[in-house]
Amino acid sequence: MNEHLQYGDTSARILVVDDEEPIRLLFKNQLMTVGYECLTAGSGVEALDVLKREIVDIVITDIMMPDMDGIELLSNIKEKHDGADIIVMSGYAQDFAYDKIIELGAKDFIQKPVTLDELLVRLKRVLRERSLLIERQQQHEELKNAYLDTINRLALAAEYKDEDTADHLVRISRYSVILAQKLGLPDEMIEAIQYAAPMHDIGKMGIPDSILLKPGKLTPEELEVVKSHTTIGANILANSKSDILLVAHDTALTHHEKWDGTGYPRGIAGKDIPLIGRIVGLVDVFDALTTVRPYKNPYPLEVAIEIITKERGKHMDPELTDLFLDNIDSMLQVRKDVSSDQNISLADFIWSERDKEAYPQLAGT
């Protein structure tokens, strides 16, 4: 849709479609006289060709044309060039139901012969509706952007307590979107995951810094406090009418659940864990392993991949794990694009005290 357009703006581009050349030229001359930019086409096929090359605001088309009539052209435009509004005209109005033509997507119907005054009145009305629609769309987009910005800032507020960087949130979002796309999820769900995934740790706002930033091993009591960030986050995000925040609620609550049922806070297993929880739970482990945390330096990629492989069917959804590993190059590209951490060699690698407890078989403890 031509967003510069305003009501009464004669910079609008009009395409006149009629198989009779004198009528096309008459309309063109009349419209150009009052300032409109006007294109013409002698058939429906020619009109579609014009629309492939040019941005057009309004199509004024006759109905009775050979090869492709105006009704067929109307259907084609709505299917392939929905940015253009359509006014249908005919000298045989009795053969066509006004309500049917409007139902098919036309903005107006004009009976021939048409005076310039009537044509201009119809054009201005359609352009006014078009301008109001553009304005509403812009307002909706501005409101949506403000809403998403608030969500991102809320997620970042929680992250500053832990890693003091927005990079982790960006990576989690991108990793999650890659998996969602590879799963073939609908676009609406992918968008919800894109914005919900960074809110997985929003409950950390309720965890004392003395525990959250502790470099060493946590006591059993401290570990229980840390685990509560899942329910704190879920409570923060509960009872929202927003689809994104509903997905974020499930993310915060379930991203530490495990496929085998040994996770927290509820100990649910398998596909009882919401998909978003399984996705974020997997990519969050990968990101935690490969980046600096208060209690550890980044692990070598080989170690991170080995841990994820070994946790297939235990911690992680086996199908998602396979999908993640099949697309590891895409994940590593995200890490490269959104990371200041340096790779660490196996020779310099030291297990953290926390991960020795989490992965005793791999850590050799």
Q: Which residues of 214-239 are buried (b: 16+ CB within 10 A; e: fewer)?
A: beeebeeebeebbbbbbbbbbebbee
Number of H helices, E strands in the chain: 17, 5
Reported residue count of the chain is 365
Class of domain 161-363: mainly alpha
Which sequence spans correspond to the domains of the chain? 13-136, 161-363
- Taking 50 as the threshold, does the pLDDT of residue 194 lie above it? yes
Q: How far is Cα 61 from Cα 108, in angstroms, rounded to an integer?
A: 11
As a whole number of angstroms, the longest Cα–Cα distance in the chain is: 91
Pick the CATH number of 13-136 from 3.40.50.2300, 3.40.50.300, 2.40.50.140, 3.40.630.30: 3.40.50.2300
Query: What does residue 86 show for φ and ψ, rounded to 5 degrees?
Result: -130, 130
Mean pLDDT calculated for residue range 188-208:
91
Residue 155 Cα distances to 91, 195, 202, 312, angstroms: 61, 10, 6, 28
CB-based contact 199:153 (threshold 8 Å): no
Same fold, 13-136 and 161-363: no
Q: How far is Cα 335 from Cα 286, in angstroms, rounded to an integer?
A: 10
pLDDT digits (tens, 9 = 90+) for 98-134: 777 887 888 988 888 888 888 889 999 999 888 888 8
pLDDT digits (tens, 9 = 90+) for 52-92: 999 999 999 998 888 888 888 998 888 887 778 999 988 76
Q: How confident is the model at residue 18 (pLDDT cuts 50, 70, 90)?
A: very high
Residue 88: CA atoms inside 13 Å, Cβ hemisphere, count?
28
Region of poorest pLDDT, from 142-146, 195-199, 255-259, 361-365: 361-365
